[in-house]
Structure 1
Amino acid sequence: MFTGIIQAMGTIGARERRGDDVRLEVAAADLGLADVAVGDSIAVNGVCLTAVRIDDGGFGADVSVETLDRTSLGQLDIGSAVNLEKALTPSTPLGGHLVSGHVDGLGTVEERYQDGRSWRFRFRAPDRLARYIAEKGSICIDGVSLTVNGVDGACFDVNIVPHTMDVTRFGGYRPGQSVNLEVDVIARYLERLMLGDEAATPGAGGITREFLARNGFRAD
C-alpha cells in the first residue's frame, strides 16, 4: 500500500525485453533506498512493482504482460521521468489516501491552464471508470493522490499547486498524454459488494438499472 505522496522522481535508466515481459532499471538516487530490500514494493508512476535488484543509485523491477497492457509503463523511453514512492509502514503519515498501486486504466490529459498560482488539469477517464470518480472524492494519477474538483461525464478536473508541479511529472504533462489512473479503493469494492451473490455469476457486470430494478429499486 502507498499514500499517493511522491517521495522522489527518478528516470528510466534501461529497459530489457525478457520474453513478453520487460525488466526496467530505474535510476532513483534521491529516493533513499537504504531501508529497501529485494522483494519490497516501490510505486513507479502509481504502479506497484517488486524490486528485484537494488543499489545506491536505483533498482530493477520486472513488468509483466498484464501490467504492460494496463498501464503506461510500456510507453516509457529511456530517460523518461517517473514518480516514485516506497511502500508505507505503520508509522508513515497518511498525507494522501490509501493507494494500492493497482492501476485501473489509462486516462488522457485533455487540457491544462493556469489558475492563480496553481494549474488546473482536465483528464478523460475510460468510460467504465467514470462511475467511480466523484466530485471531492480521491483519485490517484501516476501515483499522485489528488482531490477531484469537478466531474463532467468521463472527464474530471484536478488542481495542482506549484509544489506538486515542481516535484512530480505534472510539470511535463501535455494534452494527449496517457496517465495511470487508480480510483478510490472503497468505491471499487463497494460496487462489488452490492452485487452480492450475483458477483459469483460468470459475466456479471456492474451496477446497472436492470440490476437495481431486480433488487427493488424504484426511480420514482
Structure 2
Amino acid sequence: MFTGIIETLGTITNLQKEGANLHIQVISAISDELKIDQSVSHNGVCLTVVARSPGCHTVTAIAETLQKSNLESLSVGYPVNLERCTRVGDRFDGHIVQGHVDQIATCISVEDQQGSWLYTFQYDTNAGNITVEKGSITVNGISLTVVDSQLDHFSVAIIPYSFENTNLKHVKPGDTVNLEFDIIGKYVSRIMELRR
C-alpha cells in the first residue's frame, strides 16, 4: 500500500520486451536501498523489484498491467515517479493508494495560474470510475485533490513543490497518465450498483 506522496524521481535507462512482459530498468536515488521482491510504485503502478545493480533497479510489467497503464508508452530517459510502500507507524500524508491503476486518462489542458498549475484530464467513463469534488485521485502515483469533477473529466491544482518534484512538469496536452480512483469511492459505487 502507498500514500501517493512521491519519494523521488527515477530515470528509465532501459526497456526490454520479453513475450508479453516489459522489463523496465530505472536509475534513482533509492535504487541502492531496494531489495529484490520489494514493491515500489512506478508512476502509480505497483511493480516488484526483480533485479538490482549499483544505482539502478529493474521491475517487470505483465500484459494486464500494460493494458491498463501507460507504461508501454514510456521511453528511455523519461522521468518516473517513485514511492516505496508505506511502513506501519509512518504518517499518512496522502490517501490510501493501492498501486493498482484503474485506467489511463489524457491531459487535455495545462493552465499556468501564476503560482500553481491547473491540469485537466479526460477519461473513458465506460470503466465505471467516478471523481467527486474535493475527493482524492491518484495521477501517475501522485495523491491529488479533485478541484473540478465532471462526467468524463476532472481538474487538479498543482503546487510548485509537486510540479518541480514529480514528472507532472513533463506532462502536456495529449499525453496519457495513469489513474487510480479512490478505493472508498469505488466500494461505494459498487454497493450502489449492486442495489440497483
Give the secondary structure class of the aligned counterpart of 1:97.
Answer: coil
Q: Report the counterpart of residue 125 of structure 2 in structure 1.
A: 127
Aligned 8 A contact 1:133 1:139 in 2 = yes
Residues 71-95 of structure 1 deviation map (CA, whole Å, 9 limit, x = unaligned): 0001111111100000111032211
2:13 aligned partner: 13
TM-score normalised over the length of structure 2: 0.94
Structure with the larger RCO, 1 or 2 (CA within 8 Å, 6+ apart): 2
CA contact (8 A) 2:31 2:57 kept: no
Paired amino acid for 1:140: T
Q: Distance in 1 between matches of 2:193 and 2:118?
A: 36
Matched, 1:89 2:87: yes
Corresponding residue number in structure 1 for 2:30 = 31
Calculate the TM-score normalised by the size of structure 1: 0.84
CA, structure 1 residues 131+101, in 2 after alignment: closer, same or farther (shift >3 Å)? Answer: closer
- AA partner of residue 173 (structure 1): V
SS in 1 for 2:154: strand
Task: Return 5+ residue gaps in structure 2 as ranges.
Answer: none
Alignment: residue pair count: 196
1:143 aligned partner: 141
Larger Rg: 1
**1:209-220 aligned within 5 A:** 212=196
2-structure distance, mates of 1:79, 1:114: 25
Q: 1:10 to 1:130 in 2, by over 3 A?
A: same
- 2:126 partner SS: helix
Equivalent position of 1:181 in the other structure: 179
Higher percent of residues as strand: 2
**Which residue is 1:207 aligned to?**
none
Query: What pairs up with 1:34-183 in 2 under 5 angstroms?
Result: 34=33, 36-128=34-126, 131-183=129-181
Q: What is the alpha-carbon distance in structure 1 between the residues aligned to residue 128 and residue 175 of structure 2?
A: 19
Structure 2 distance, partners of 1:7, 1:33, is 14
Percentage of identical aligned residues: 34
**CA contact under 8 A between 1:70 and 1:106: conserved in structure 2?**
yes
Which one-letter code corresponds to 1:185 in the other structure?
Answer: I
Q: Is the 8 A contact 1:45 1:83 kept in 2?
A: yes
Q: Report the CA distance between 1:114 and its aligned residue.
A: 1.4
Distance 1:156 1:130 in 2: 15
Q: CA 1:147–1:129 in structure 2 vs 1: closer, same or farther (change >3 Å)?
A: farther
Q: 2-side partners of 1:38 and 1:124: how far apart?
A: 36
CA distance in 2 between partners of 1:195 and 1:136 (Å): 23
For the 8 Å contact 2:31–2:52, the answer to whether it is kept is no
Q: Look up the equivalent residue of 2:11 and give its one-letter code.
A: T
The amino acid of 2:185's aligned partner reads: A
SS of match in other structure, 1:148: strand
Measure, in 2, the Cα distance between the counterparts of 1:32 and 1:20: 25
Task: Give the whole-Å Cα distance in 1 for the aligned partners of 2:82 and 2:150.
Answer: 30
- RMSD over aligned CA atoms reads 1.5
Is 97-106 or 186-195 further displaced after alignment?
A: 186-195
CA–CA distance in structure 2, aligned partners of residues 131 and 62 of structure 1: 26
User: C-alpha distance in 2, partners of 1:32/1:15?
Assistant: 17
User: Which residue of structure 1 lines up, in the alignment, with residue 2 of structure 2?
Assistant: 2
Structure 1 portions without partners, runs of 5+? 197-210, 213-220
